[in-house]
Amino acid sequence: MDFASDFLIIGSGIAGLSFALKAATLGTVTLVTKKSRIDSATNLAQGGIAAVLAADDSFEMHIQDTLRAGAGICNQDIVRLVVENGPDRLKELMALGVAFNQKEQGATLDLTREGGHSARRIAHAFDLTGHEIERCLLASAASNPRITIFENHCAVDLLLASKAGLADPGEGDSCLGAYVLDSMSGAIHTFQAKTTVLCTGGCGKVYLYTTNPDIATGDGVAMAYRAGAKVANLEFVQFHPTCLFDPKAKNFLISEAVRGEGGRLINKAGQPFMAKYDSRGDLATRDTVARAIDNELKTSGDDSVFLDITHKPADFVKTRFPNIYQTCLVYGIDITRQPIPVVPAAHYMCGGVLTDAMGRSSIPNLYAFGETACTGLHGGNRLASNSLLEAVVFAHQSFRQCQNDWPRLHAQSQPKVPQWDPGQAARIKECVLITHNWDQIRRLMWNYVGIVRSEKRLSLVQARLAPIVKEVDQHYQDYLLTPDLVELRNIATMADLIVSSARLRKESRGLHYIVDYPRQNDEEWRKYTVLRQGEDPEFLPVD
Ligand code: SIN
């Protein structure tokens, strides 16, 4: 079946929904999401959204904190753009009904602090900020007659003018929408659009342990790469220092705001250890804290370290962190009386589809934002709570660009595109083919491409991944598509891209720490690593 609209958005988190609400003022919007609309990383975000709101804060301070965290490779113009837009975008969210915590009813916002921030600047809704934002955005989208949401619809690949035989000679390629799998019926539909937007979130599921929801399989980046878009900085995978360590818990995050409110990291013997690693102690940036914990665990042989907030009044802890308090209680930990066992886990992809300041990718009519994009804001390491901010700012930037292009877009007719051709594909009879590859990739990435890397392990993993990637590609040809097969193909692509990018960067910087090159080498490496299918890697200077 064919569906057509002015805008196709893939993903239902803060980035996709914020853009949908704005784009609907121009034309018709179709939003596809592969599970239910609430299944997004946004919905799980605990910490908050950073913006300069306090009298003792300034744009310059937020900019400097972001640049310092980004380890010398942030795009300074983008950092300024995002930071200076923060207060306006936050007001828009509040106007939609997002209830951030206030100091007292009707008074100023209650701002919290996280690692790497020199001021309190994080607006939050208890420890359920993302859930509150998602609730409001979904409610607004649901009541908008120009927005149609397709749940259980999993994007497979982008529809390109070249593949459809519709590219004008000499004009280059452009994106015409996407092929999308209806997970319930198994049918693959064409979703055509004048503008396609990738907001599929991150790729934490490439790793065995992650704070991400199950949907985080790098779909947007993998699809964009296969379509010929440039992707950048994929070696910079952020590991969150504090994920609950409990065999029964499924990767539950303990927000950095716990440290922002005074929580301390301690070892099994009860000794604090962060001061040994950084003068900012427990509030150092995430790359430093995750590496410190990794070192403590490797040295001691212990299973976890601990996050201790027992010195704070129990009532404060229960009120400020109701979600964390209740969830830990389920696993038998009363955080007002006991330290919380924690370990690092894959959390955020700082690289992604390379975009400009308006959210445009290198393929015309294809945009990317949110965790799917590499806008230049995060550089080598994302500052905590800058990601929800980046998503709303780039949703706005992209909307402004579409508004500008609207007379041309509006006048365009949509060409007839070919239907999905399943070839000789048959129904898969042995799903173990998928689950086995899935497990292999995630284990390899965890053990070989984690917080601390080495040339030896990177070269071994590249050799081991190659046949798996080939095998998965063969499954993709041989079998009728299922959501599991689509996701497997995407994590295989992402694993391969992360390893290729990590092998290119011959230095340690931000989140990419490699024992063979322990120093940051600014003379040679203040660059982005850029990959494009079928081409040699490109190294893009930062300034
Ligand atoms: C957290 O609450 O620690 C996560 C916030 C973020 O990743 O920015």
pLDDT for position 359: 98
Residue length of the chain: 543
Distance CA 344, CA 243 (A): 6
59 C-alpha to center of ligand 1: Å? 21
Q: Which two tokens stand for residue 509?
A: 């910087």
Measuring CA to CA, how many Å separate 225 from each of 230, 268, 513? 7, 44, 25
pLDDT for position 170: 67
Q: Which two tokens stand for residue 212?
A: 């991400």
83 C-alpha to center of ligand 1: Å? 17
To the nearest whole number, what is the mean pLDDT of the chain? 96
Domain boundaries in the chain? 2-236+350-411, 241-344, 432-519+530-541
454-467 pLDDT, tens digit each: 999 999 999 999 99
DSSP-derived 3-state class of residue 357 = coil
Q: Is 500 left (phi over 0), alpha (psi -120 to 50) or beta?
A: alpha
Distance CA 276, CA 346 (A): 24
Distance CA 143, CA 346 (A): 35
* 505 a catalytic residue: no
Output 440 or 249, whichever has higher pLDDT.
440
Percent of the chain with pLDDT over 90: 91
141-153 pLDDT, tens digit each: 999 999 999 999 9
Ligand 1 atom with least separation from CA of 385: 8
451 C-alpha to center of ligand 1: Å? 18
48 C-alpha to center of ligand 1: Å? 7
174-224 pLDDT, tens digit each: 999 999 999 999 999 999 999 999 999 999 999 999 999 999 999 999 999
pLDDT average, residue stretch 322-333: 97
Distance CA 357, CA 359 (A): 6
> Same topology for domains 2-236+350-411 and 432-519+530-541, yes or no?
no
Indicate the helix (H) or strand (E) that contains 135.
helix 129-142
The distance from CA 285 to its chain's CA centroid, rounded to whole angstroms, is 18
Ligand 1 atom with least separation from CA of 387: 8
Pairing of strands 513-514, 527-531: unpaired
Distance CA 141, CA 148 (A): 8
pLDDT for position 381: 97
DSSP-derived 3-state class of residue 378 = coil
**CATH class (in words) of the domain with range 241-344:** alpha beta
pLDDT for position 36: 84
80 burial level (CB within 10 Å; 0-12, 13-18, 19+)? middle
Using an 8 Å Cβ cutoff, are 49 and 389 in contact? yes
Set 286, 382, 442, 453: catalytic member: 286
In this predicted structure, the answer to whether residue 543 has a pLDDT above a threshold of 80 is no
- Measured from the Cβ of residue 426, the count of other Cβ atoms closer than 10 Å reads 9
Q: What confidence category does residue 115 fall into, taking pLDDT thresholds of 50, 70 and 90?
A: very high
pLDDT for position 389: 98
pLDDT for position 280: 96
Percent of the chain with pLDDT over 70: 99
User: Ligand 1: residues within 6 Å at CB?
Assistant: 46-47, 255-257, 348, 384-385, 387
Helix ranges (DSSP H) in 451-526: 455-478, 483-504, 522-525
This prediction has a pTM of: 0.96
Distance CA 141, CA 264 (A): 40
User: Rounded to 5 degrees, what are φ and ψ at 486?
Assistant: -60, -45
pLDDT average, residue stretch 325-351: 97
* Helix (H), strand (E), coil (C) string for 214-247: CCCCCHHHHHHHHCCCCEECCCCEEEEEEEECCC
pLDDT for position 209: 93
Residue among 65, 255, 283, 289 whose CB has most ligand 1 atoms within 8 A, to mutate: 255
Output 171 or 506, whichever has higher pLDDT.
506
pLDDT for position 414: 86
In this predicted structure, the answer to whether residue 330 has a pLDDT above a threshold of 90 is yes
| CATH level 3 topology of 432-519+530-541 | Methane Monooxygenase Hydroxylase; Chain G, domain 1 (1.20.58)
38-90 pLDDT, tens digit each: 888 888 888 899 999 999 999 999 999 999 999 999 999 999 999 999 999 99
Q: What confidence category does residue 169 fall into, taking pLDDT thresholds of 50, 70 and 90?
A: low
User: Rounded to 5 degrees, what are φ and ψ at 175?
Assistant: -95, 135
Distance CA 40, CA 76 (A): 29
Q: What confidence category does residue 240 fall into, taking pLDDT thresholds of 50, 70 and 90?
A: very high
pLDDT for position 44: 86
pLDDT for position 415: 86
pLDDT for position 105: 65
The position carrying tokens 């649901």 is: 142
Distance CA 188, CA 153 (A): 9
The secondary structure of 37-61 as a DSSP string is TT-SHHHH--S-EE---STT--HHH
In this predicted structure, the answer to whether residue 104 has a pLDDT above a threshold of 80 is no
pLDDT average, residue stretch 334-356: 98
pLDDT for position 1: 74
Closest-CA residue, ligand 1 atom 5, reads 47
Q: What confidence category does residue 113 fall into, taking pLDDT thresholds of 50, 70 and 90?
A: very high
Residue among 14, 112, 244, 256 whose CB has most ligand 1 atoms within 8 A, to mutate: 256
253-271 pLDDT, tens digit each: 999 999 999 999 999 999 9
**Within 13 A of 347's CA, how many CA atoms are on the CB side?**
30
Q: Which two tokens stand for residue 39?
A: 């299944």
Please tell me the CATH superfamily of domain 2-236+350-411, with its number: FAD/NAD(P)-binding domain (3.50.50.60)
Ligand 1 atom with least separation from CA of 129: 2
